[in-house]
Amino acid sequence: MTLIDGKKISAQVRQDLAVQAQKLKENGTEITLAVVIVGDDQASRVYVNNKKKACAEIGYKSIEFALDATTTQDELLALVNKLNDDPTVNGILVQLPLPKHLDEKLITDTIKPEKDVDAFHPVNVGKIMIGDYDFLPCTPAGVMELLKAYDIEINGKNCVVIGRSNIVGKPMSMLLLHQNGTVTICHSRTKNIAEITKTADILVSAVGRAKFVTADMVKDGAVVVDVGMNRDENGKLCGDVDFADVAEKTSYITPVPGGVGPMTIAMLMKNTLKAALIQK
């Protein structure tokens, strides 16, 4: 069993990006990411701070817009449009979830596709579908980067994705398909889920339920990628996979924390650099 080290791989990605960012800076292009946060959700605040830290480390400029929880839809749309029109801003990220009275879909659809570094805009989603994309959603992209770093072959393999969210499950299955994986998607209505997951050479869980995947659901020698970020009964951070139960059966497995998590922000940084190059 080999532990897939997301911290190590993400550090390598960031190093590469820092070198490229420095070159662009020398040619007069400073990469700028605008981050918008509405209200005072604790988890969102942690994420935003991590994104700003990553920008500083790589050499990007980050601008934060921290808006009050009572911000109206029109005010938020006006800000997004202002950032769309600002040629010095390369990437725009509106931290989700937004307060209930705001329409998340309308906001993400308003961000210009070429500045949409989360890859949530329908244009970018459609491009992923046909395999001709500029940006990838950060978490699935991070998973692909980890598989590549460990020379894990996808071509011809049985791949099972648990979860069908627009942010992880659906794009994850498309990316595996583009690499010639044979992909099955399982979700809350799937019957006999263990029988299906047991066929997986590569199993990706993005279901958001603590220790959902147990040893009896995993084939011997499978590659198991855990996208979940949950708390167990003792309030300790854990994934969707019951690590202690499953690890010994696998050939490769990602830990939580330290697996997919660090890759998500590294991929966001990669998208931001790509946005700057496209706009240039």
φ, ψ for residue 72 (rounded to 5)?
-85, 165
Comma-separated ranges of CATH 3.40.50.10860 domains in the chain? 28-112
**Rounded to the nearest 10 degrees, what angle do helices 42-58 and 6-26 cross at?**
50
Is 118 a residue of the active site?
Answer: yes
Domain with CATH 3.40.50.720 in the chain: 138-261
Question: What pLDDT, on the 0 to 100 scale, is given for residue 124?
Answer: 97
**How many other C-beta atoms are found inside a 10 Å radius of the C-beta of residue 60?**
25
Candidates 206, 101, 212; CA nearest to 163 is 206
**Taking the model in full, what pTM does it have?**
0.95
Q: Which of 116, 118, 201, 242 is catalytic?
A: 118
Residue at token pair 């960031």: 14
Parallel/antiparallel/unpaired status of strands 32-38 and 2-3: unpaired
Our answer to whether residue 219 is catalytic in this structure is: no
Looking at 16, 61, 85, 95, which residue is catalytic?
A: 95
Let me know if domain 138-261 sits in CATH 3.40.50.720: yes
**Strand ranges inside 81-128, DSSP E:** 91-94
28-112: CATH, from 3.40.50.10860, 3.40.50.300, 3.40.50.1110, 3.10.180.10: 3.40.50.10860
pLDDT < 50: residue spans in the chain: none
* pLDDT at position 280: 86
